Amino acid sequence: MAKYLIVGGVAAGMSAATRLRRLDESAEVVVFERGDYVSYANCGLPYYIGDTITERERLLVQTPEAFRSLFNVEVRTGNEVTAVLPESNSVRVRELKSSREYEESYDKLLLAPGGSPVKPSILGSDHPAIHTLWTIPDSDRIRAMVDEGNVKTALVVGAGFIGLEMAENLHARGISVVVVEMAKQAMNVIDFEMAAMVHRELRMQKVGLYLEDGVSRFENGPDGRVVAHMTSGRAVTADLVLLSIGVKPNTGFLAGSGLELGPRGHIVVDEYLRTVDDRIFAAGDVIEVTHPLSKEKTAIPLAGPANKQGRIAADNMHGQTPRSYNGTMGTAIAKVFDLTVGMTGASEKFCKAKNIPYDTVIIHPNHFAGYYPGAMKMCLKLVFSPENRRVLGAQATGYEGVDKRIDVIATAIKGNMTVDDLAEIEHAYAPPYSSAKDPVNMAGFAAQNILDGLVRTMTWDRLHEADKSELFLLDVRTPAEFATGSIPGAVNIPLAELRERIADIPKDRKVVLFCKVGLIAYNAARVLEANGITNYCNLSGGYETWQIATAAQESAWEAESFQIREGTEMLTAEVKTDSDIVIEVNACGLQCPGPVMRLKQEMDTIAPGEAVSIKASDPGFFSDAPSWARSTGNIVRDISVEKGIVKAVIEKGGAAPAPAASAGNDKTIIVFSGDLDKTIASFIIANGALAMGRKVTMFFTFWGLNALRKPEKVGGLRKSLVEAAFGWMMPRGSRKLALSKMNMGGLGGIMIRGIMKNKNVPSLEEMITAAVSGGVNIVACQMSMDLMGIRREELIDGIQIGGVASYLEASEHSDNNLFI
């Protein structure tokens, strides 16, 4: 009778145990689990804390008793394996309750001990309000704190899958959540522009997000709270902190076993999941796997692979039908509030890092027929090989239908399919389920067009970094769409006029064509090609991708909460009810500017004091509606997002058109100058106005931007030669500014700073910090940044990037407008 021992009683371990029993009814199967639970749903823990899963028992998929009675598997919970002794084919075990130690022999051993959350050695991280989430007891502790009702604010450290799931579930319990992430994006496995949609979802849900920042130390706060100090100098006070910064393999007990470990401590196995000892196998989060696309060893901690590896390991331990494990390519999915984020195979950044030749395309199709009610936009990025047309990877975000497309493409990658196969996939279609051309087909078509030379594309980041003077940016959307915003410097020639106005297209510059999502621009590209203009490219993903990816990604929480506060104040002041909502509009399915135009159309028909309730599936409507209402003198009573549908209630303002747009007592300052004295003057005025309770907007343009530059050089920005030279010649930050007069090679600046210090006048840097923290709306002019080659990453935190429209809107509420 064979005797199988298994270390670890959850995903990989229990899959193996039950498979072994099915393969061999007579075998002895013993599972050691150091915790009190086996086969529990760790993926469900965040949802139990969020109360979506209301009954704790539902997390316990199986019990030790059930394993014994149903499968005749002996499960020893509370028993930790402390050593593996290959020379005697046995393991050393400690019974945790009694501390009794014993040895148990095996014929075959499976190591499936998984991983544990990384706990950083940050000063103060032993504070009782700081938690990690991995096990049932972890979730019990966190849920108990939340249930007691004392958690009003939470800080989530790490914007990976578990961190974001927890942000959503804590938020669902009425808690204000801030997420801080060291990288420049959430979910680091996906590409930046896809993560930008996650950032937008967090903004819409009013969750704070700080990027490129980390906790440097914790300290005790008032009333049992914890204060997290960030490397940026920010401090967040929270009732609860969740550390979610990664996972490390549980291999400490293997010391001295002779088993080979990889560079990050994972167990090295062959394709049969066998360690260097052919009686010992390993599976799950604890092992190194081969990535099928790079052929390199990596570690991908996911439940699907762990379960499948458990089954394969059991087959190989039993030996009758040996099976190889062919690698993990990281197919994963997560729900981030209402947004679904899915990925499979190689991302663009993965291809870059591994030197895999690749091309990409981004499309924004509807998840089913656009004319059928409820159609929602998704964003699908396909990564493919220009060498053999193979599909390499995909990422998708959206409110519906993401899972299905990612699974289809994952299957295509597994089957070594090409983009031509994607174009041909015959999918099940009826309007409520898909379109006659499914998004997967559409991605295949778009990739075929690129590979067949029918269109050339440029990605948003290449455009962002390009020398714009060498480009002709051509926006082929309708004038109404163009009026809602475009890429700075773009010229609008709608597709319908392009043939007649072909002479307006310059021949001496590369033409970058774009529309909202790329489809109309593709048609325009064909028109250019037919007219002999071949020096062009189509912006992949269109204006939508460019806009989302180049927007300010972090700290939007402050701006959004301000916006919402503004709305709430109005709501309480007016004590309005829904009874005077006279029109309900469903603008779902309409693309920008459709929802705003529908809103205007309906608002024109109602009387002051009455309201329109409007729903739109365009996520941009979340910011468009308040902007439109503010600039037209109407009032946002309420705005919310649910499952990707923005719902706004807009009340018609006074009888006179746009009354709120007339001058108030706000102050606006255009800071054009980059001189030290003039910059000091602008901040003195701004902080003075702030102290008087005025709302202040400072719009930094051209040389003024230098005051907002970070003092240190920011690497990895891939600038053109001209941009790099510009950046090198201009002062980097407020400390490098020169006086407009009597600068005397910098001596004047030093003198004025000395005088200010002696007279107890705050330094320029202190004034800037006071302005940012006091709520001055500091806007860096996008257009000037583009012209001068300055990137968002080079500017200080706490500011916004905006166009002239942001400034003009602010100036309409201002009684004092300075140009410095």
Smallest distance, ligand FAD to C-beta of residue 61, A: 11
User: Which positions lie near ligand FAD, rule CB under 6 A?
Assistant: 7-13, 32-35, 42-43, 45-46, 80-81, 112-114, 133-134, 162, 250, 253, 284-286, 301-304, 306
Burial of residue 757 (CB within 10 Å: 0-12, 13-18, 19+) is: exposed
Q: Which is nearer to ligand FAD, 11 or 167 (CB)?
A: 11
CB atoms within 10 A of CB 741: 9
Residue written as token pair 């409007």: 614
Q: Which is nearer to ligand FAD, 303 or 570 (CB)?
A: 303
In this structure, what DSSP letter does residue 91 have? E
In this structure, what DSSP letter does residue 763 have? P
Q: Which is nearer to ligand FAD, 7 or 646 (CB)?
A: 7
Smallest distance, ligand FAD to C-beta of residue 336, A: 12
Could you give the CA distance from residue 250 to residue 267 in angstroms, rounded to a whole number?
Answer: 10
Could you give the CA distance from residue 447 to residue 520 in angstroms, rounded to a whole number?
Answer: 16
Q: Which is nearer to ligand FAD, 137 or 657 (CB)?
A: 137
- Residues 6 or more apart from 182 whose CB is under 8 A from it? 158, 212, 213, 214, 245
Could you give the CA distance from residue 667 to residue 811 in angstroms, rounded to a whole number?
Answer: 7
Q: Which residue is nearest to ligand FAD (CB)?
A: 284
Q: Which is nearer to ligand FAD, 133 or 645 (CB)?
A: 133
Smallest distance, ligand FAD to C-beta of residue 49, A: 9
Smallest distance, ligand FAD to C-beta of residue 129, A: 19
Q: Which is nearer to ligand FAD, 283 or 548 (CB)?
A: 283
Backbone angles phi, psi at 158, to 5 degrees: 110, 120
- What's at 337, amino acid-wise? F
Q: Which is nearer to ligand FAD, 113 or 485 (CB)?
A: 113
Smallest distance, ligand FAD to C-beta of residue 602, A: 42
Distances (CA, A) of 208 to 161, 200, 696: 16, 11, 22
Q: Which is nearer to ligand FAD, 42 or 687 (CB)?
A: 42
Find the length of the chain. Answer: 820
Smallest distance, ligand FAD to C-beta of residue 311, A: 12
Smallest distance, ligand FAD to C-beta of residue 308, A: 11
Could you give the CA distance from residue 531 to residue 227 in angstroms, rounded to a whole number?
Answer: 63
Residue written as token pair 């010229």: 491
Q: Which is nearer to ligand FAD, 41 or 770 (CB)?
A: 41
Could you give the CA distance from residue 22 to residue 4 in angstroms, rounded to a whole number?
Answer: 13
Q: Which residues pair with 233 in a beta bridge?
A: none
Smallest distance, ligand FAD to C-beta of residue 78, A: 9
Contact between 476 and 494 (Cβ < 8 Å): yes
- What's at 359, amino acid-wise? D
Smallest distance, ligand FAD to C-beta of residue 117, A: 7
Could you give the CA distance from residue 68 to residue 64 in angstroms, rounded to a whole number?
Answer: 6
Residues 457, 460, 464, 465, Cα dihedral to 10°: -60
Q: 314-318, long-range: CB within 8 Å, 24+ apart, which pairs?
A: 314/15, 314/16, 314/17, 314/19, 314/20, 314/23, 314/110, 315/19, 315/23, 316/272, 316/273, 316/274, 316/281, 317/4, 317/16, 317/20, 317/108, 317/110, 317/281, 318/2, 318/20, 318/23, 318/24
- What's at 794, amino acid-wise? E
Residue 722: enclosing H or E segment and its boundaries?
Answer: helix 721-729
Q: Token digits for 652? A: 């018609």
User: How many H-runs (helices) and E-runs (strands) does the chain carry?
Assistant: 25, 39
Residue written as token pair 């979610």: 244
Smallest distance, ligand FAD to C-beta of residue 36, A: 9
Smallest distance, ligand FAD to C-beta of residue 621, A: 30
Q: Token digits for 4? A: 């199988």
Q: Which is nearer to ligand FAD, 136 or 629 (CB)?
A: 136
Contact between 51 and 66 (Cβ < 8 Å): no
Q: Which is nearer to ligand FAD, 160 or 733 (CB)?
A: 160
43 is catalytic: yes
Catalytic residue chosen out of the listed positions 43, 351, 537, 588: 43
Q: Token digits for 428? A: 């099940």
Which residues belong to the active site?
43
